Amino acid sequence: MDYIHTWELQKKLVAKKAKDRLTPDYLLFVEHPHVFTTGRKGNLENLLSRGKIPVYQVERGGDVTYHGPGQLVYYPIMDIMRREITVRDFVRALEEVTIVALGKLGIQAKRIDGYTGVWVGEKKIASIGVAVDHWVTFHGVALNVNTQLDYFFRIKPCGLRPDVMTSIEVIKGAKQEMQPVKKEVSAAFESVFRTKLIMKHTEIAEA
């Protein structure tokens, strides 16, 4: 899905939830065409060579990153005030979701002190950047599944060396099916946030 379309959808859902706190929370799964984004305080000097790839500055925290085919991006639109959790705790929970899901896929992942995101050894496999409006979250997690990692060499991802990035495909040594990854992320999300996910394509489309 085009990045701009997804971005606008997120903002519509945030506004809907801010207006009516009883509106359900959402978890959007998407893959984007090639795009670079930077957080609200991102350093554009970390964008080395964009070529014809679009660049968008958005509301999330964090620095420059890349989205593209083969990368699973999940955007939770959640009322953290109702859930009585802080933004920091929410980010840590998203890390935990990803760590648990990767564990089910046979990959031992972890946090590294001082850095947001999820790591396998000394390599970063998932980036996290969120925004909060009226205590409703948007933006989220980018998990490298079959991501073309060479695109990270056009930036300093989150201000880091581009060769720090890895993917499930690289770790496993073979291209991965996306559906099992979505399944494990969904299950981990339900477990960590103690909730139940229900597929509602029509409601999302009409938001």
Q: How far apart (Å, rounded) are the C-alpha atoms in residues 112 and 6? A: 29
Could you report the per-residue pLDDT of 60-111, keeping only the tens digit for each?
Answer: 988 899 999 999 999 999 999 999 999 999 999 999 999 999 999 999 999 9
pLDDT at 45 over 90: no
Count CB neighbours of 181 within 10 A: 20
CATH says 3-206 is which class? alpha beta
Question: 206: pLDDT confidence band, cut at 50, 70 and 90?
Answer: very low
Question: 139: pLDDT confidence band, cut at 50, 70 and 90?
Answer: very high
pLDDT (mean) for 113-132: 96
Domain boundaries, the chain: 3-206
Q: Which of 35, 136, 158, 171 is catalytic?
A: 158
CB 67 within 8 A of CB 55: no
- pLDDT for residue 46: 80
CB 32 within 8 A of CB 59: no
Q: How far apart (Å, rounded) are the C-alpha atoms in residues 104 and 23? A: 31
pLDDT (mean) for 118-140: 97
Q: How far apart (Å, rounded) are the C-alpha atoms in residues 133 and 119? A: 28
Give this prediction's pTM.
Answer: 0.94
- pLDDT for residue 122: 95
- Residue 97 designated active-site: no
Selected residue with higher pLDDT from 182 and 43: 182
CB 166 within 8 A of CB 125: yes
